[in-house]
Amino acid sequence: MYLGIDLGTSEIKAVVIDGSGTVLASAGESLEVQRPHPHWAEQDPADWWRATQAVIARLRNKIPQQWPHICSLGLSGQMHGAVLLNRDNQVLRPAILWNDTRSGEQCQQLTQSAPELHQIAGNLAMPGFTAPKLLWVARYEPEIFAQIATVLLPKDFLRWMMSGDKVSDMSDAAGTLWLDVAKRDWSDSLLAACGLSRDHMPHLVEGSDISGQLKGDIARAWGLSDNVTIAGGGGDNAASAVGIGAVNPGDAFISLGTSGVLFAVNDRFRPNPQSAVHAFCHALPARWHQMSVMLTAASALRWFCQLVGSNETTLLAEIAQMNQAEQRRAPVFLPYLSGERTPHNDPLAHGAFHGLTHAHQRAALGYAVLEGVAFGVADGLDVLSQAGTRLEQCSLIGGGARSEHWAQLMADVLDLPVITHQGGEAGGALGAARLGWLAAGGTVAQVCHKPAIERSFLPNGERQPLLAERLAVYRQLYQQQLALRRA
């Protein structure tokens, strides 16, 4: 048996799979994000650990007979977060999360002080990444910065709690801006640009390698044997790719979770920072990937449902009843509720509904939200194409994959077949469990097969002219917003 734990932004999720890859049980525990100031997003790492304990207890109760047979586990997690520990391994402040945009000024500072950044890290300096966060701490919380002994990524804090080992994997480390992504090693010069060194960093392993072992007291408390190994694991998107079987060049998927991701697998390091495309290590050796990332995806739908006092199931049913004429008259939505990464790299971008009238009901606005997220993914596909990546089809995973209407809209907007898979909502947790299986001796061919297809959505040519018109308006609206801010 293999356990996978995924530390998401809004939930800790875990699954157990058996030796055939079948999911035996899953459980989750919600998390809250604290926003004490505009542009801030933080969480207390202690809350992650409490939620993990709760999830483990639920899983154990679901499969009491199989549970003791777990021999390995893997970890997946939200990327870019900064967990700061002192020499006594005490957490110095709340973790600064990936969707925190306070460090825009520090991005400029890093770019100026490390001219080799784009070549080595393969990415633009963006507020979401870890390195600018540390420059912000150095500038505004110098008394905390002076105490830093270790910087950990979110999932690696859980690993440290479980094993006592400070370790990260290549895919997650690539999102710090401190990794030489081609060499898969820390970059001394990029660390020095932030006033840090290798001594502050965790040890690096591949995601499918063993990173350590569950501590005896934790194993006993969890009802497991004292020889449970822990795989290196992966950043949430790389782990999701392992879970969906996207491990070979040309494989691709769209993830609609809190953020939206278009992920394409490469056999070599292929950076394209000028278009805000991310180029990272994959969670498996000798593999890399490109990503376009939008900061708000399914979370925009949750936000809108809370705003209008509805739930996603009811709203999606109302949207499904709309005809093309109603869709044509719907507002156009910019989903930049937390700024945007690809392709704009603009932490100050903001969301908007354009074209509202008295005639619009909530279904029309809900449709605009789904469409706006799809348009954001289309922007990402464009810049991946400019970087030389060609896709034939995309899998769809994450919470948004549960909506057939959204899946069809994605296919129509992107003009690509979109495929959903059985168990696709498991995402990073399933990938983490598979990485645990690989660390225990499984082979990539045996472990990383694609889950069974649930449905295929082919582009509807009749809708594409309308969507192309609305996409052009969407893009023009952002340019107008940008021009207003620069005026």
Q: How far apart, in Å, do the first and last CA atoms of the chain sit?
A: 60
Mean pLDDT of the residues in the chain:
94
Which tens digit of pLDDT belongs to each residue from 388-445? 788 889 999 888 888 999 999 999 999 999 999 886 666 799 999 999 999 999 999 9
Cβ neighbour number for residue 376 with a 10 Å cutoff:
30
Look-up: residue for tokens 């000028």? 274
What is the rounded CA–CA span in Å between residue 481 and residue 487?
Answer: 10
Q: What are the structure tokens assigned to 432, written together?
A: 């983490």
- Please name the amino acid found at residue 48: W
Q: 100, 156, 209, 236: which one is catalytic?
A: 236
User: CB burial class (10 A; 0-12, 13-18, 19+) of residue 432?
Assistant: buried
Known catalytic residue at 217: no
- Cα separation of 310 and 161, whole Å? 39
**pLDDT for the residue numbered 270:** 82
| Segment 263-279, tens digit of pLDDT | 999 888 887 777 778 89
The C-alpha atoms of residue 54 and residue 51 are separated, in whole angstroms, by 5
Q: What is the pLDDT of residue 400?
A: 83
Distances (CA, A) of 76 to 223, 374, 385, 426: 22, 25, 28, 11
DSSP at 194:
T
Quickly state the pLDDT bin for 135 (edges 50, 70, 90): very high
Domains (ranges, CATH) in the chain?
A: 2-237 (3.30.420.40)
Query: Residue 23: beta bridge partners?
Result: 17
Residues in contact with 440: Cβ distance below 8 Å, sequence separation at least 6, in sequence order: 2, 71, 72, 229
Q: Dig out the tokens for 427 from the structure.
A: 């995402």
What pLDDT, in 10s, does the model give residues 152-178?
999 999 999 999 999 999 999 999 999
For residue 473, is pLDDT > 70?
yes
CB of 214 within 8 A of CB of 163? yes
Does residue 80 have a known ligand-binding role?
Answer: yes
b/e burial code for range 17-35 (CB count within 10 A of at least 16 → b): beeebebbbbbbbebeeee
pLDDT band at 18 (very low <50, low <70, confident <90, very high): very high
Q: What is the DSSP letter of 18?
A: -
Is 354 part of any known ligand binding site? Answer: no
Q: What one-character DSSP code corresponds to residue 295? A: S
**For the CA atoms of the chain, what is the radius of gyration?**
22
Beta-strand pair 453-457/418-421 = antiparallel
Question: Which pLDDT score, from 0 to 100, does residue 425 have?
Answer: 65
The whole-angstrom separation of Cα 175 and Cα 293 is 12
CA distance 23 to 16: 6
Q: Which residues of 393-402 are buried (b: 16+ CB within 10 A; e: fewer)?
A: bbbbbbbbbb
Q: Name the pTM for this structure.
A: 0.86
